Amino acid sequence: MFQLGVFGINNGSLNTAVKLLILFLVVIWLALVYYTYADARRRIADPMLVGCATLASFFPYVGTIIYMIVRPAEYLDDIRERELEMQAAEARIQRLDYFLCPHCDYQVEKDFIRCPSCTRKLKDPCVNCAKPLDPEWRLCPYCETEVVQTTPGPRRRRRRRSEEDGSTAPPSVEA
């Protein structure tokens, strides 16, 4: 019986070489599909996008090349590690008595009562020793004077003008 070779090649050794080349290309293609899947799992958090990247790589060679162009630049582990390093650095900065004004982000010291840049009040001074007090303290730690908690008085709220008569209602006192 007559066997037809690949691509019409009837030479036995040349036919074997072409078959081995095709096998090699198929193995490389399947390896690229697996590579795309494994790389997408390390770089992309969404399982749906990992599946789409893997399915795209089933287009021989072109899918993997397109994936390599549009894939995220960093691994998920690298992103997590960088975020942890940033949190650790922020914690170290807070421990070094490095304070910023909450209004203008100017560097202030912990015993400043007012910000030298925007002149906003940062803390209240003690009535006895004038040292800065934290708003949550009940007692001055420097002179042991009790801190007088100033509670705001009753708030007044204005009502909006009534649409029918155009007048303003008198302010009401809210408890």
Residue 83 has a pLDDT of 96
Residue 5 has a pLDDT of 60
Task: For the chain of 175 residues, list the mean pLDDT of each consecutive stretch of 10.
Answer: 60 84 96 97 96 94 94 94 94 76 85 87 85 83 80 48 49 49
Residue 112 has a pLDDT of 84
Beta strands in 22-159 (DSSP E): 99-100, 107-108, 124-125, 132-133, 155-157
Q: Where are the domains of the chain?
A: 7-76
